Amino acid sequence: MKTARATFRGGPAGVLLGLLVTMAGCSEPGHLTEARFGSARMDKQVTSPTEPSALRGELPMDVDNPDAGLLLVPDSYQPDTPAPLVVLLHGAGGKPEAILGIMREEAKANGTLVLVPKSVGFTWDMIERGHYNVDLSRISRGLDRVFREYSVDPARVSICGFSDGASYALSVGLTNGGFFRRIAAFSPGFVAASELRGKPTVFMSHGTQDAVLPIDFGGRYINEQLLKEDYVVDYREFDGPHGIPIDIAKEGFNFLTAPASP
């Protein structure tokens, strides 16, 4: 797996820090929820495919909008075996093609479907526009397409992201915890779930030398709040900057796609 360490300066990352400081005194429970951004609830349910597709490879997520993102359907996908599905979210200014690199080869090897949406703006709507809207709808439409065309294991639907994408993945994942069974967050800045539903398990990593989203306000603080709410968290710190080390990216992928517990 080839994984670059990504670094962003200013822009929405600075907005994240400001939001975190502001939210610290008014979010609840445990500073994981925030009502001001509207609802992140999607009310999704895995269904059997009604229009099975034979298409494989890195496909447009939305055939009517090639800029909406990617859908990876590996050659190893078998229609008669429900597959794991990972929703993968890029960081601020990122591109689906780049963030897909953290799990492309592993997904191809074990038949995992990977939905990689592109944010409508520079970063995700809740961060850039101050409310859940266009990006949440884009993710929802992408999921509808996957369920319509491919067989998915409902016990292995997960959401994952880096930086701004990690904050968005945690926020949407915790809001829809009955649907997303697992969440992986690489170097998140904060959490702003509209409500807490279900109890997804969480994998989280953060670099101790992160100058973009400092660890004390990100991974360490979020881990503390998740544990207070009785979430199961596998939290990793590494000596490095804002990025995803190769070994941690691989561990995160294995966490997301492991067979469900009995």
Q: Along the 262 residues of the chain, how does pLDDT read in single tens digits? A: 333 333 333 344 444 444 544 343 333 335 899 999 999 999 999 999 999 999 999 999 998 999 999 999 999 999 999 999 999 999 999 999 999 999 999 999 999 999 999 999 999 999 999 999 999 999 999 999 999 999 999 999 999 999 999 999 999 999 999 999 999 999 999 999 999 999 999 999 999 999 999 999 999 999 999 999 999 999 999 999 999 999 999 999 999 999 987 6
Phi, then psi, of 6 in degrees rounded to 5: -95, 145
CA angle 108, 109, 113 (to 5 degrees): 40
CA neighbor of 104 nearest in space, from 78, 73, 68 = 73
CA neighbor of 12 nearest in space, from 20, 23, 2, 3 = 20
The predicted model scores a pTM of 0.90
Assigned CATH class of 27-40+53-255: alpha beta
Q: Where are the beta strands (DSSP E) in the chain?
A: 57-60, 69-73, 83-89, 113-117, 152-162, 182-186, 201-207, 233-238
CA–CA gap between residue 138 and residue 32 (Å, rounded): 23
CB-based contact 115:71 (threshold 8 Å) = yes
